[in-house]
Amino acid sequence: MRIGCKRVNSSIDKKVCKVLKLHLFNPENDLALADGSFNYCPPPAAMAIAAELATLPLWYAAANDVVYLNSDIHKEFHAAMARSFSLPAIYSPALKESVSSLSPWGWSAQMRHRFKAMGFDRFLLPGDEEIVKMRSLSSRVLTINVLAALNGAGIDTPPLPCYIENIDDAIAFVNSHDRCVVKAPWSGSGKGIMWGIGRAEEPMVHFCRGVIRRQGGVVCEHFLNAKQEFAMEFHAVDGKVEFVGYSLFTAENGAYSGNLLAADEEIERMLSVYIPKEKLAAVKECLCDIMQKHLAGSGYCGYFGIDMMVYDNGDGYRLNPCMEINLRMNMGVVARLFYDRFVCNDVKGVYRVRFFKQTGEALRTHVELQAVHPLRVENGRVLKGYMSLVPVTSGNRYIAYVIIGEDVC
- Confidence category of residue 86, pLDDT binned at 50, 70, 90: very high
Q: Is the pLDDT of residue 182 over 60?
A: yes
Q: Are 64 and 31 in contact (CB under 8 A)?
A: no
Nearest to 146 by CA among 276, 248, 288, 242: 288
Q: Torsion-angle region of residue 254: left (phi > 0), alpha (psi -120 to 50) or beta?
A: left
What is the per-residue pLDDT across 278-291, written as a single tens digit (0 to 9) for each?
999 999 999 999 99
Residues 302-316 have a mean pLDDT of: 95
> Is the pLDDT at 407 greater than 70, yes or no?
no
Question: Could you tell me the pLDDT band of residue 409, with boundaries at 50, 70 and 90?
Answer: low
Please check the confidence at residue 116 and state whether its pLDDT lies above 90.
yes
Quote the pLDDT of residue 41. Answer: 93
- The total domain count for the chain is 4
Q: Note whether residue 174 is domain-resident.
A: yes
Give the residue from 285, 304, 296 showing the smallest Cα distance to 150: 285
Domain-embedded: residue 336: no
Q: Does 2 map to a domain?
A: no
306 and 380, same domain (yes or no): no
Whether residue 1 is contained in a domain is answered as: no
Residue 171 sits in a domain of what CATH number? Answer: 3.30.1490
Task: Label residue 396 exposed, middle or buried (CB < 10 Å: 0-12, 13-18, 19+).
Answer: buried
Report the share of the chain in percent with pLDDT over 90: 86
How many whole angstroms from its chain centre is CA 118?
25
Domain shared by 235 and 211, yes or no: no
Containing domain of residue 237, as a range? 136-157+225-331
- Say whether both 321 and 354 belong to one domain: no
Question: Do 54 and 73 have their domain in common?
Answer: yes
Q: Shortest CA distance to 182 belongs to which of 168, 196, 171, 198?
A: 196
Whether pTM > 0.85 for this model: the answer is yes
- Does 357 fall in a domain? yes
Please tell me the distance from the alpha carbon of residue 55 to that of residue 264, in angstroms, as a whole number: 25
Q: Which parts of 55-146 are beta strand (E)?
A: 66-67, 89-90, 101-104
Q: Is the dihedral of CA 397, 401, 406, 409 positive or negative?
A: positive
pLDDT score of 15 = 42
**Residue 130 belongs to some domain of the structure:** no
Rounded to the nearest 5°, which phi and psi values hold at 396? -65, 140
203 burial (CB, 10 Å; 0-12 / 13-18 / 19+) is exposed
295 plus 353 within the same structural domain: no
